[in-house]
Amino acid sequence: MSERPTILEARDLVVSLGGRRRSLFRPARAPVRAVAGVSLALRQGETLGLVGESGCGKTTLGRTLLGIQREAAGEIRLDGAVVSGLAPALARARRRAIQYVHQDAAAALDPWWSIGRLIEEGLIVAGVRPAGLRRAKVGAMLEAVGLEAAFHARYVHELSGGQLRRVALARILLLEPRIVILDEPTSGLDLSVQATVLRLIAELRARLGLSYLLISHDLSVVERMCERIAIMYLGRIVETGPTRAIFASPRHPYTQALLAAAPRLARVVRPTGLILAGEPPSPRALPSGCAFRTRCPNAAPACAATLPPLEAASHQHWVACLKWREIPERPRPPLVTGAESA
């Protein structure tokens, strides 16, 4: 079986945010390394999940791959060609094949204009000339994302969360990207609506030959949508591999804790050590060595000294932990099924 080609690749990407030079009125401020050395590869036609909690850098990573955020160090390759090292406007122009869907669908749309006009804007910017042609494309795209033609004349505040997600998708798909970065596509959506949006996303991938980078903190979404996942903690990838392998046999203690913490439909029996204590450290003051060691039940002195590299745990399954061999396998805790009495 031939390997699908890699279309988007990042090598040792570092992104710093919020630095400030000393000026007449304000003191200098050290920047925060939101992404501290990340390498990943997205293959043609696949959905790669980027999982992590708030502050792990997944959104920053997504925006850096998009180009709107400039990287501080590292390389980004699109179809093998280097596209990094450019200012945001130039980077976006060079990486037009990559588009982005924001987490907050309502806030990402201008409340002043009608939906039809908003969707059309991408085409206008891209220089698609006769207005009739644009109108036809917008109409076709509305249908493709499951919205009636009447939505053309509506306004942002009249639409529900699920509908707004579809509008956002329609807008960027008209630009004919090959890679779409989806930032928390189900956040804020009701359960009954989530499935329809996810189904649409899956259908569009098949129909339009897209590849996705799906950013989410919701493991159930990732499990249903992604072939491979990468788990991030404080700016680094701690585990990556095929979704099924990671869910069946998570190797990194953080992944195990994350899987254990997800709320399930029945009471969960959790072995001790899987409920994390304390707060994640501030990204401004990262612990030396492995950033997870302050909350890790298996931490050893060696963990403070060395930054664990990604090692192969099995085929295509990589872990960044010094002690992964010693940590017991802890697949997702089983559900205690059956009706429980009060």
Partner 1 sequence: MTADPLLEVKNLRLSVRTDEGVAQILDHVELTVARGQILGVVGESGCGKSTLARAVLGIFPKAARIESGEIRFEGQDLLALSDADMTRLVRGRRIGFIPQDPYLALNPVFKIGAQLLAAMRWHAAQPTSEAARRAELVALLRRVQLPEPEAVLERYPHQFSGGQRQRLLIAGALAARPALLIADEPTTALDVTTQLEILKLLQALTQEFGVSMVFVTHDFGVVAELCDVTTVMYAGQTVETGPTGAVLAAPRHPYTQALIACHPDRAAALIGIPGQVPSPLAPPPGCRFAPRCPTAADVCRRRRSRLVADAPAHGVNCRLADERLAARQAGVGA
Partner 2 sequence: MLILVKFAKDKPAVLGAAIVLAVVAMAILAPLIAPYPGDVAASHLLQRLKPPSPEHPFGTDNLGRDILSRVILGARGALMIALLVVGISMAIGVPLGLIAGYQQGWLSQTIMRVTDIFLAVPQLILALALAQLMGPSLESAMLALTLTYWPFFTRIVYAETRRLAAALFIDALQCIGAGASRILFLHILPNAISPIIVRATIGMGFTILVAAVLGFLGMGATPPDPDWGLAIAESRQYLPEAWWFSTFPGLAIFLTVLGFNLLGDGLRDIVDPRLRRSR
Which of 6, 39, 44, 114: binder of partner 2 (CB under 8 A)? Answer: 114
The region of 120-128, 258-266, 295-303, 320-328 touching partner 2 under the rule CB under 8 A is 120-128
Q: Which of 29, 93, 220, 284 binds partner 1 (CB under 8 A)?
A: 220
Binding flag, residue 107, partner 2 (CB under 8 A): yes
Q: How many CB atoms lie within 10 A of CB 252?
A: 27
Count of residues of this chain found to bind partner 2 when the rule CB under 8 A is applied: 34
> 7, 79 in Cβ contact below 8 A?
yes
Q: What mask, x for binding partner 2 by CB under 8 A, covers residues 151 to 190?
A: --xxxxxx---------x--xx--x---------------
Question: How far apart are alpha carbons 243 and 245 in whole angstroms?
Answer: 5
Of 14-22, 105-113, 250-258, 301-309: span binding partner 2 (CB under 8 A): 105-113
CA end-to-end span of the chain: 53
Q: How far is the CB of 228 from partner 2 (least distance, A)?
A: 25
Q: How far is CA 216 from CA 77, 103, 224, 247, in A?
A: 23, 10, 12, 15
Nearer to partner 2, 121 or 227 (CB): 121
121 binds partner 2 (CB under 8 A): yes
77 exposed, middle or buried (CB, 10 Å; 0-12, 13-18, 19+)? Answer: middle
Instruction: Region of 40 please: left (phi>0), alpha (psi -120 to 50) or beta.
Output: beta
**Separation CA 335–CA 35 (nearest Å):** 35
CB of 335 to partner 1, least distance (A): 7
Q: Which does 88 bind (CB under 5 to 8 A by kind): partner 1, partner 2, none?
A: partner 2
* 8 A C-beta contact, residue 72 and residue 15: yes
Q: Which does 217 bind (CB under 5 to 8 A by kind): partner 2, partner 1, none?
A: partner 1
Complex with partner 1: residue 265 or 285, whichever CB lies closer: 265
Yes or no: say if 249 and 243 are a contact pair by the CB < 8 Å rule: no
| Chosen from partner 2, partner 1, none, partner binding at 223 (C-beta under 5 to 8 Å by type) | partner 1
State the residues that interact with partner 1 by CB under 8 A. Answer: 53-54, 160-161, 190-196, 198-199, 202, 217, 219-221, 223-224, 257-258, 260-268, 275-277, 279, 335, 337-342
State the residues that interact with partner 2 by CB under 8 A. Answer: 66, 68, 88-89, 92-93, 96, 99-100, 102, 104, 107-114, 121-122, 125-126, 150, 153-158, 168, 171-172, 175
